């Protein structure tokens, strides 16, 4: 199957930061497989997401049941990424993509291959008649191409990327596929993303309101714009957070992935790796699930998952769970805490991240410490987080931030994660630029705490 067309949604980076919203402890299924490109499974499709300062780009790889606009591991787009310094020419002119294509089809052009001593291969793009080197600056729908007057051979190194849109900062060469999505399919995909990221909500307005009422938030938000509450599927959100009990982010992600591989349906294969949907409640309620999950390293959480799935399957349904979105916050939470392995904290996570209860404020030891440090000094005298204190902390934030208090609290939670503290101020960094090796290594090594202390990773648990 051919690759789906690269699509884009107008979305300023201040309204959404993929590199923060996808990894701040809400979802455990998004991976940065390529620098700046996030890959994950959502609504039965596999997605590649990336962004510029003003737009969100996406490409979709659906399951066999949805064959339109898909790509597989066999359909690589071979691109060339510049690896050597290039002379900057003062005399340049900008032409549109149509003119660029016309130039090279009428005059003729060629792509010279080369090999390095290390065995790497690449291409040089040379205009045969004018002997100009053409270096496109890429974009999804059109390309502005800078054509340098002097003869300079720009060397590029081959790299396989499943995306027709490349990093503009690296001046990459785009090789487009002809496969086009239907307008209906494209509209459906865009609707899924808009719903998932809640793009109908103006985040700048929310940040402004929270900053006016809270100087602590105002100071923090300067470096943490674009953090959105993901609108996740309740089934995935619930069972993922059952896995989060006394756990850290990397281990939770591994558990969720094994859960999908074992009981989920396959979506597609990409770069030799299979991707799966999150399991249904029915599949998790079958015989032998607890024993199987224990063998996969879930520990006591295996029982929680099995018992909860059986309870929902026997007494309710997945639709009942999703239907809790339509109930008031307190009623939804009271239903969730009846489930095995779900306490007040996990229930609030599910309420906030999949039940549309944006006033829900999950409170763990880490959030308790934030509240004591910056908002409620009396909490420093408390020896433990009691139910009474839990309620007081949530009520304080709801009074301070309003009916979307859980969203504002998530911004502060993310800002306090070590993984983000170890990074430079990304406001000054082009998100399309690949991180250097030291940044990449630091990102992989950094961990955050679940309970706010010790070696545990910060996480909604």
Report whether pLDDT(341) > 50.
yes
Q: Which two tokens stand for residue 213?
A: 């009422």
Residue 382 CB neighbour total at 10 angstroms: 14
Under the banding of pLDDT at 50, 70 and 90, the label for residue 182 is low
Same domain, 458 and 339: no
Same domain, 116 and 66: no
Same domain, 419 and 370: yes
Report whether pLDDT(145) > 50.
no
Same domain, 154 and 209: no
Same domain, 416 and 404: yes
Last residue of a domain, one of 321, 339, 357: 357
Last residue of a domain, one of 307, 335, 357: 357
**Mean pLDDT, the chain, whole residue set:** 75
The 10s digit of each residue's pLDDT in 407-428 is 999 999 999 887 776 554 443 3
Q: Is 345 a catalytic residue?
A: yes
What's the CATH code of the domain at 286?
A: 1.10.340.30
Give ∠ CA 280-75-164 in degrees, rounded to 5: 95
Same domain, 52 and 106: no
End-to-end distance of the chain based on CA atoms, in angstroms? 41
Last residue of a domain, one of 331, 357, 383: 357
Same domain, 42 and 186: yes
Question: For residue 271, what pLDDT is reported?
Answer: 85
Of the candidates 345, 357, 404, 458, the residue annotated as catalytic is 345
What's the CATH code of the domain at 430?
A: 1.10.1670.10
Same domain, 55 and 196: yes
Same domain, 26 and 39: yes
Report whether pLDDT(440) > 70.
no
Under the banding of pLDDT at 50, 70 and 90, the label for residue 405 is very high
Same domain, 236 and 290: yes
Question: For residue 419, what pLDDT is reported?
Answer: 74
Question: For residue 226, what pLDDT is reported?
Answer: 98
Question: For residue 8, what pLDDT is reported?
Answer: 95
Same domain, 219 and 341: no
The 10s digit of each residue's pLDDT in 233-250 is 999 999 999 999 888 888
Same domain, 301 and 344: yes
The mean pLDDT of 336-365, rounded to a whole number, is 97
- The answer to whether 175 and 96 are in contact (CB under 8 A) is no
Lowest-pLDDT range, 47-56, 200-209, 416-425? Answer: 416-425
Question: For residue 327, what pLDDT is reported?
Answer: 98
Domain span holding position 114: 77-170
Question: For residue 91, what pLDDT is reported?
Answer: 34
Lowest-pLDDT range, 151-165, 200-214, 243-257? Answer: 151-165
Give how many domains the chain has, as a whole number: 4
Report whether pLDDT(452) > 90.
no
The 10s digit of each residue's pLDDT in 291-313 is 999 999 999 999 999 999 999 99
């Amino acid at each position: 199957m051919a690759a789906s067309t690269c699509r884009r949604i107008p979305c300023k980076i201040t309204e959404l930061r993929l590199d923060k919203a996808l990894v701040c402890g809400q979802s455990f299924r998004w991976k940065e497989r390529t620098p700046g490109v996030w890959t994950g499974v959502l609504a039965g499709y596999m997605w590649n997401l990336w962004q510029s300062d003003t737009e969100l780009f996406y490409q979709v790889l659906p399951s066999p049941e949805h064959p339109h606009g898909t790509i597989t591991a066999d359909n690589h787009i071979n691109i060339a990424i510049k690896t050597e310094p290039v002379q900057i020419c003062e005399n340049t002119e900008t032409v549109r993509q149509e003119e660029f294509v016309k130039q090279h089809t009428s005059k003729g052009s060629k792509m010279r291959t080369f090999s390095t001593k290390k065995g790497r291969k690449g291409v040089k793009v040379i205009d045969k008649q004018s002997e100009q080197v053409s270096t496109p600056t890429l974009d999804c729908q059109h390309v502005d191409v800078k054509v340098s007057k002097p003869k300079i051979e720009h060397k590029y190194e081959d790299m396989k990327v499943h995306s027709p849109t490349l990093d503009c900062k690296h001046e990459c060469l785009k090789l487009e596929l002809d496969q086009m999505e239907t307008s209906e399919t494209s509209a459906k995909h865009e609707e899924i993303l808009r719903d998932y990221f809640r793009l109908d909500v103006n985040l700048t307005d929310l940040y402004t309101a929270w900053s006016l009422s809270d100087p602590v938030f105002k100071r923090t938000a300067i470096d943490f714009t674009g953090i959105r509450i993901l609108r996740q599927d309740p089934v995935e959100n619930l069972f993922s957070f059952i896995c989060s009990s006394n756990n850290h982010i990397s281990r939770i992600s591994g558990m969720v992935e094994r859960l999908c591989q074992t009981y989920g349906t396959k979506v597609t294969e990409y770069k030799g790796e299979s991707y799966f949907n999150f399991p249904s409640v029915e599949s998790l309620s079958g015989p032998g699930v607890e024993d199987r999950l224990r063998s996969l390293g879930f520990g006591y959480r295996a029982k929680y998952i099995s018992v909860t799935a059986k309870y929902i399957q026997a007494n309710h349904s997945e639709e009942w769970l999703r239907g809790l979105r339509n109930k008031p916050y307190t009623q939804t939470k009271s239903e969730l805490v009846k489930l095995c392995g779900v306490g007040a904290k996990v229930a609030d996570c599910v309420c906030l991240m999949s039940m549309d209860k944006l006033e829900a404020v999950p409170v763990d030891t880490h959030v308790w410490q934030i509240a004591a440090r910056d908002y409620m000094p009396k909490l420093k005298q408390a020896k433990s987080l009691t139910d009474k204190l839990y309620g007081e902390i949530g009520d304080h934030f709801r009074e301070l931030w309003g009916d979307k208090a859980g969203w504002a609290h998530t911004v502060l939670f993310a800002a306090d994660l070590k993984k983000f503290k170890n990074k430079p101020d990304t406001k000054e960094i082009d998100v399309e630029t690949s991180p250097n090796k030291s940044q990449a290594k630091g990102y992989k090594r950094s961990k955050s705490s679940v309970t706010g202390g010790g070696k545990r990773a910060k996480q909604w648990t």
